[in-house]
Amino acid sequence: MLIRHRGHEPIIDPSAYVAPTATLVGQVRIGPRVRVMYGAVLDAEESAIEVGECSVVCENAVLRGGVTLGDHVFVGPQATLLGCRVARCAYLATGVTVLQEAALGAGAVVAIGAAVHARTALPEEFFVPPNTIAIGGKVYAPGDPALPEAIKGVEFAKVAFGVDADWGNRIHRYERMAEVRSNQFAAHADDEIVG
């Protein structure tokens, strides 16, 4: 399904394939020989999504906000990419998450279930092992005692939602984050299905 959002509608190269159950919303540009598979959602919101030549976005992947994929990028099933840049020939496996302002170098690999946190830059051919979290160029295993402090240092609420709230006041922070996203998503009330 193609949806016009905030006056922008998706542009798809004639050599690309977009599955009939995929949803492309707003300023989404699909390059030559791209494959967007069943159930994928590419929602540009207030920004743009660019998918480079011969990239693959698998089933039920979600790309939201300002996402740029270089050429020959593989995005696995159930992956989530939010406001990030992924250079050419990167491989993002099933169930990965890449958050706002992250930048993955050419040939980077994010293995099954791993995450790349906000503002993290991965060099070329960097490998993030399964079920780990990359923050600031360092990889943490779940349960690592240094992980909470590393996450705190990213200032995720500020990066992702523009919310500058005290780390210790979780309820207030989450309330503001929900308000911001609710206001942003309200713009979808004016969306129009294209074609």
In single-letter form, the type of residue at position 120 comes to T
> What pLDDT sits at residue 15?
98
Domain hosting residue 171, numbered range: 2-194
Digit-coded pLDDT (tens) for 55-66: 999 999 999 999
Report the relative pairing of strands 133-135 and 138-140 from DSSP bridges: antiparallel
Q: What would the 3-class secondary structure string for the chain be?
A: CEEEECCECCEECCCCEECCCCEEECCEEECCCCEECCCCEEECCCCCEEECCCCEECCCCEEECCEEECCCCEECCCCEEECCEECCCCEECCCCEECCCCEECCCCEECCCCEECCCCEECCCCEECCCCEEECCEEECCCCCCHHHHHHHHCHHHHHHCCCCCCCCHHHHHHHHHHHHHHHHHHHHHCEEEC
- Per run of 10 residues, the mean pLDDT along the chain (length 195 residues) is 95 98 98 98 96 98 97 98 98 98 98 96 97 94 92 84 76 87 90 89
> What pLDDT sits at residue 98?
98
> CATH no. for residue 94?
2.160.10.10
> What pLDDT sits at residue 111?
98
Residue 9 CA to residue 44 CA, distance in Å, equals 10
What's the structural domain count of the chain? 1
> What pLDDT sits at residue 135?
95
